[in-house]
């Protein structure tokens, strides 16, 4: 049975009502899950880690995406490389989880040995005619920008990653995140389809009702609103805020902190939405009161008020502030389960207990992530129940969900689904 037959239609485009949530089969069926993995996690560029995961030469970390296991490596020249985590002899997994400061990968099975560039350098008892150069580790496409590591498992990786990386590099350069350190690292499981996790991230319609910690630093109407549902006084206040925010954005841009909104969905293989927002409260960071949590700011910058640089990617979302960055990415585990990893990045010279208090640094997004995970689990239960029918998205507060969904459908069609 295909996802198409489950929803009694022959084409995917026929199964979706524009501006609505997706048919249940796309959130629950094994076949839809396999198609998603193929298109969005094996053929597209995805975020799978951070330079801070492998800061030193000889550090390596394993990332598992579906049935693909990939080794991220910092080589002798400090470049980031990626290889399939499978020995070229009889296929053994080379590294179980992570290693630090090694000079060679030695396979645990028969001790074939590879250097950090993936070359097979030792393979005893294979005969005089055995050509080691034909048995290097199989490379995986890998790129970095702004401290992030992206891979593409397809051999013909989408070329438009260059434009996305250039934009990210420009916007994130002042934070010097490739030299930052991970102050806190958390992986949680969301009990829902990965698209429900992404949809939940693309809107903040739910923020007022579910994120009491986060909304301290948000300007409520920035998330979109129906003018008919807002009082004249609220509207006047918001117009004043918009004038101030526009002036702040112009000032940031004049100082070289690129802040204007960019939305790359339609017609692009690799999506990107990014914008720098003014923060409420003390105006510095996503903490309970909006004040910076880290005394030693990121990079060389000394201005604690650089706003909230949002970045949305196909499997990731980030916020970068002057004092820290909180970066998240997801990896689907099953049709109804998704792993979400979040790291809190700070200046590598910042000392816990001296320059920052870990609880103050992490409490807003630890709470927010759990609240989001709870919402995703509720949504999953609802969409897989017998009575579920696709529901309408708000044109005011969920436009970006609809835009993201259109991009998703466009990519499926481009791959023949
Ligand atoms: S499987 Fe790796 S050395 Fe044999
Ligand atoms: Fe949320």
Q: Which residue has the higher pLDDT, 365 or 16?
A: 365
pLDDT in tens, 273-298: 999 999 988 999 999 999 999 999 99
Q: What is the mean pLDDT of residues 43-59?
A: 98
Q: 46-145: CATH homologous superfamily? A: Rieske [2Fe-2S] iron-sulphur domain (2.102.10.10)
State residue 252's pLDDT score.
96
* Ligand 1 atom nearest to CA at 92: 1
pLDDT at 376: 98
Tell me how far the alpha carbon of residue 127 lies from the centroid of ligand 2, in angstroms. Answer: 59
Q: Where in the chain is the domain with CATH 2.102.10.10?
A: 46-145
Model confidence over 131-144: pLDDT tens digits?
Answer: 999 999 999 999 99
Q: In the CATH hierarchy, which fold is given to the domain comprising 182-414?
A: Naphthalene 1,2-dioxygenase Alpha Subunit; Chain A, domain 1 (3.90.380)
Residue 218: per-residue pLDDT: 84
Nearest protein Cα to ligand 1, atom 4: 110
Whole-model pTM?
Answer: 0.95
Say if residue 380's pLDDT is above 90: yes
Q: Return the best residue to mutate from 85, 86, 92, 95 for the ligand 1 pocket (most ligand atoms within 8 A of CB).
A: 92
Give the pLDDT of residue 12.
63
> What pLDDT was estimated at residue 191?
98
Question: Ligand 1 pocket by C-beta < 6 Å: which residues?
Answer: 87, 89-90, 92, 107, 109-110, 112
Q: Which residues surround ligand 2, an ion (CB under 5 A)?
A: 372
pLDDT at 219: 80
Q: Tell the residue nearest (CA) to atom 1 of ligand 1.
A: 90
- pLDDT for 5 equals 47
Provide CATH 3.90.380.10 ranges for the chain.
182-414
- Tens-place pLDDT, residues 332-352: 999 999 999 999 999 999 999
| pLDDT, tens digit, 9 for 90 and up, residues 228-275 | 898 999 899 889 989 999 999 999 999 999 999 999 999 999 999 999
Answer whether residue 1 shows pLDDT above 50.
no
pLDDT at 13: 58
Beta-carbon neighbour count of residue 128 at 10 Å? Answer: 4
Query: Which is the closest atom of ligand 1 to the Cα of 123?
Result: 3
Q: What is the pLDDT of residue 15?
A: 81
Residue closest to 109 by CA, chosen among 81, 127, 88 = 88
pLDDT tens sequence across 69-127: 999 999 999 999 999 999 999 999 999 999 999 999 999 999 999 999 999 999 999 99
Q: What is the pLDDT of residues 307-337, one digit of tens each?
A: 999 999 999 999 999 999 999 999 999 999 9
In this predicted model, what pLDDT tens digit does every residue of 6-50 receive, in sequence order?
444 456 656 899 999 999 999 999 999 999 999 999 999 999 999
Tens digits of residue pLDDT in 185-197: 999 999 999 999 9
Question: Is residue 378 over pLDDT 60?
Answer: yes
């Amino acid at each position: 049975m295909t996802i198409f037959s489950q929803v009694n239609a022959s084409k995917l485009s026929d199964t979706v009502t524009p501006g609505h949530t997706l048919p249940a089969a796309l959130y629950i069926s094994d076949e839809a899950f396999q198609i998603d993995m193929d298109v969005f996690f094996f053929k597209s560029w995805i975020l799978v880690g951070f330079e801070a995961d492998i800061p030193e030469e000889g550090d390596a970390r394993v990332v598992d995406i579906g049935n693909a296991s990939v080794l991220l490596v910092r080589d002798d020249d400090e470049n980031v490389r990626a290889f399939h985590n499978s020995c070229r002899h009889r296929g053994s997994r080379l590294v179980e989880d992570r290693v630090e400061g090694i000079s060679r990968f030695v396979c645990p099975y028969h001790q074939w040995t590879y250097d950090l560039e993936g070359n097979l350098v030792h393979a005893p008892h294979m005969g005089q005619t055995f050509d080691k150069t034909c048995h290097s580790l199989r490379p995986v496409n890998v790129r970095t920008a702004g401290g992030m590591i992206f891979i593409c498992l397809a051999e013909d990786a989408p070329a438009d990653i260059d434009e996305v990386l250039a934009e990210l590099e420009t916007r994130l350069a002042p934070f010097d995140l490739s030299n930052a350190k991970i102050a806190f690292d958390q992986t949680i499981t969301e009990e829902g389809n990965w698209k429900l996790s992404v949809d939940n991230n693309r809107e903040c319609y739910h923020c007022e009702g579910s994120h009491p910690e986060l909304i301290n630093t948000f300007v409520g109407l920035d998330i979109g609103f129906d003018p008919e549902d807002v009082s004249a006084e609220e509207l006047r206040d918001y117009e004043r805020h918009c004038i101030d925010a526009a002036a702040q954005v112009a000032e940031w841009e004049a100082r070289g902190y690129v802040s204007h909104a960019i939305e790359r969905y339609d017609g692009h293989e690799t999506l990107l939405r990014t914008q720098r927002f003014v923060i409420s409260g003390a105006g510095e960071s996503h903490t309970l009161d909006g004040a910076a949590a880290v005394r030693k700011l990121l990079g060389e910058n000394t201005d604690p008020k650089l706003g909230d640089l949002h970045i949305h990617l196909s499997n990731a979302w980030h916020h970068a502030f002057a004092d820290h960055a909180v970066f998240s990415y997801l990896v689907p585990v099953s049709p109804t389960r998704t792993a979400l990893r979040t790291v809190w990045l700070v200046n590598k010279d910042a000392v816990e207990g001296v320059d920052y208090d870990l609880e103050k640094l992490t409490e807003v997004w630890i709470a927010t992530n759990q609240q989001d995970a709870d919402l995703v689990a509720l949504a999953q239960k609802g969409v897989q129940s017998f009575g579920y029918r696709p529901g309408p998205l708000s044109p005011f507060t969920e436009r970006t969900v609809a835009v993201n969904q259109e991009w998703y459908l466009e990519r499926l069609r481009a791959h023949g689904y």
